[in-house]
Amino acid sequence: MGTLAQEHDCLLLDLDGTVFRGHELTEGAAEALEKTPGRALFVTNNASRSAGEVAAHLRALGLQAAHDDVVTSAQSAAHVLAGQLAPGSRVLVVGTESLAAEIVAVGLDPVRLYEDKPDAVVQGHSPDTAWANLAEAALAIRAGAVWVAANIDATLPTERGLLPGNGSMVAALKAATDADPQVAGKPAPTLMLDALARGEFRTPLVVGDRLNTDIAGANAAELPSLMVLTGVNSARDAVFAVPEQRATFIGHDLRSLHQGAHELKVGPQAAWQVDTDGSTLTVSTTNHDDGDGLSIVRAVAHAVWSTPATTVKAGDDTAQAALQRWSLT
Q: Phi and psi dihedrals of 20, rounded to 5? A: -145, 165
Distance CA 36, CA 28 (A): 12
- ∠ CA(44), CA(50), CA(51), 5° rounding? 60
The 3-state DSSP composition of the chain as helix, strand, coil percent (nearest 5) reads: 35, 25, 40
Q: Of 9, 16, 292, 316, which one is the catalytic site residue?
A: 16
3-state secondary structure of 209: coil
Return the number of other C-beta atoms located less than 10 Å from residue 231's C-beta. Answer: 24
Q: Of 9, 14, 153, 194, which one is the catalytic site residue?
A: 14
The rounded Cα 202 to chain-centroid distance in angstroms is 21
Is 289 assigned a catalytic role?
no
Backbone torsion region of residue 51, taken as left when φ is above 0, otherwise alpha when ψ lies between -120 and 50, otherwise beta: alpha
Distance CA 321, CA 298 (A): 16
What is the CB-side half-sphere exposure of residue 181 using CA atoms within 13 A?
32
Catalogue the E-assigned strands of 24-77: 24-25, 39-44, 70-72
Q: Which residues pair with 283 in a beta bridge?
A: 274, 314
Output the furthest CA–CA distance in the chain (Å, rounded). Answer: 71
Is 316 assigned a catalytic role?
no
Q: Which residues are catalytic?
A: 14, 16
